[in-house]
Chains A and B, each alone.
Chain A
Amino acid sequence: MRTGTAGSAESSDILITVRDSDVLSVTVRSSVYEYFGKSIEKTVREVLRERGADRVEVICEDRGALDGTIRARLKTALDRMEGRE
């Protein structure tokens, strides 16, 4: 099974792990989930749609990342999973 990880557990960052899956699933864990959980998931799903990635499992450990950071980390994780550099 292919896996890709990017980001970190530092403040303002997000650690994203993606792996092959039969279905699309997105899990977000965040200390500010109540306020931003939906927005993080929306950004993740947007990037997945842009990439045509519909059979992946995405796990996000958020530490207060901004939208651009989420997009960047997910792109890197997908590239790493796909073996692109």
Chain B
Amino acid sequence: MRRSFLFVPGNSPGMLGNAPWLDADALIFDLEDAVALPEKDAARDLVREFLRSVRKTKEIAVRINSMDGDLWKRDLEAVVCPALDAVVLPKARAGDAVALSAVLTEMERERKPDSRTGIIALVETAAAVSETEEIAALPRVNAIMLGAEDLSADIGAERTPSGEEILYPRMRVVYACAAAGIDSVDTPFTDVRDGEGLKKDCHFARRLGFSAKAAVHPSQASVINECFLPSPASVAKAARILRAREAAGGKGVFAVDGKMVDRPVLERAERTLAAAREAGLPVPEE
């Protein structure tokens, strides 16, 4: 499952060492914003050693430095190995993602011939928002993450708790990812002391259609996981809908609780039950 993506500073041995046992579904070892320029080499060496010795308990990605400088090449040289599931590309543009994919293909031939490294494209500039659909459709891209802090700075907007300034890019990411069949990851909630605010933000993102959310503190992961699980009520309703389908005996359209049920509703019910089963939630008989 991919509900929570936790950023872990790449130059902190203590945090890297504890990360595999945290609640997040996926870990992102950060070589970019969490590491000061004079420590980039040390973080790269540390993450490399960690990836080579880690006992994998969950998906592991590395956020490399952006492709508008040179550091990203050394980052890739250090981290591409069998334990690496994905590369997070900051300030992603479609052309960068294509170039990164080509470099990964070359490196994988020798280093990990049996597995393919995904790309999680971080959309955090106005230019990237305008290319969201193109980025989502690229073969190696398996998720798009929205980076609202950089994005609002880029467009000159003020970040607000309600987030109306990022509603347009949020919707754009959700639609592009749904069309491409990949995961949409909402921007992190940066006030790590505000648990209620995080819950509200998660539920809002979920209602918009996001499949996951980024986390910047370990305590946020379990809240995100909980919010991005199907609720007991939605699981019960999905099971009722699928039971009613059997009773309807092949009718294309029927009603449950007085509401029309047709193919899209059935598909949503099936997705809800599949997600509940994957998470080990109790699922009533269909």
Interfacial residues, chain A to chain B (CB-CB below 8 A): 6-7, 10-13, 65-69, 71-73, 75-76, 79-80, 85
B49 and A71 contact, CB distance less than 8 A: yes
Q: Which residues of B contact A66 (CB under 8 A)?
A: 13, 17
Shortest CB-to-CB span from B59 to chain A, Å, is 20
- On whether the beta carbons of A12 and B14 are closer than 8 Å, the reply is yes
Other 14 A-B pairs with CB < 8 A, given A13-B13, A69-B17: A7-B42, A10-B12, A10-B13, A11-B14, A12-B17, A13-B14, A65-B13, A66-B13, A72-B42, A72-B45, A73-B45, A76-B41, A76-B46, A80-B41
- The interface residues of chain B lying within 8 Å CB-to-CB of A80 are 41
Query: Are B41 and A85 in contact, with the CB atoms below 8 A?
Result: yes
What's the nearest-Cβ distance from chain B to residue A56, in Å?
17
A-B contact pairs, 18 of them (CB 8 A): A10-B12, A12-B13, A12-B14, A68-B50, A68-B52, A68-B53, A69-B17, A69-B46, A71-B49, A72-B42, A72-B45, A72-B46, A72-B50, A73-B45, A75-B45, A76-B45, A80-B41, A85-B41
> For residues 23 through 66 of chain B, which have their beta carbon under 8 Å from a beta carbon of chain A?
41-42, 45-46, 48-50, 52-53
Given A68-B53, A69-B49, A72-B46, A79:B14 Cβ within 8 A = no
CA distance A72 to B52 in the complex (A): 11
Asked if A72 and B14 make an inter-chain contact with CB atoms under 8 angstroms apart, the answer reads no
Q: Give A72 to B39 CA distance when docked, in angstroms.
A: 12
Q: Which residue of B lies closest to A71 (CB)?
A: B49
Residues B52 and A6 in contact, CB atoms below 8 Å apart: no
| Complexed CA–CA distance, A27 and B50 (Å) | 24
Those of B137-157 within 8 Å (CB) of chain A: none
The winner among B12, B14, B50 for most chain A CB atoms within 10 A is: B14
Nearest Cβ distance between residue A28 and chain B, in whole angstroms?
Answer: 17
State how many angstroms separate the Cβ of A70 from the closest Cβ of chain B.
9
Residues of A close to B41: CB separation below 8 A: 76, 79-80, 85
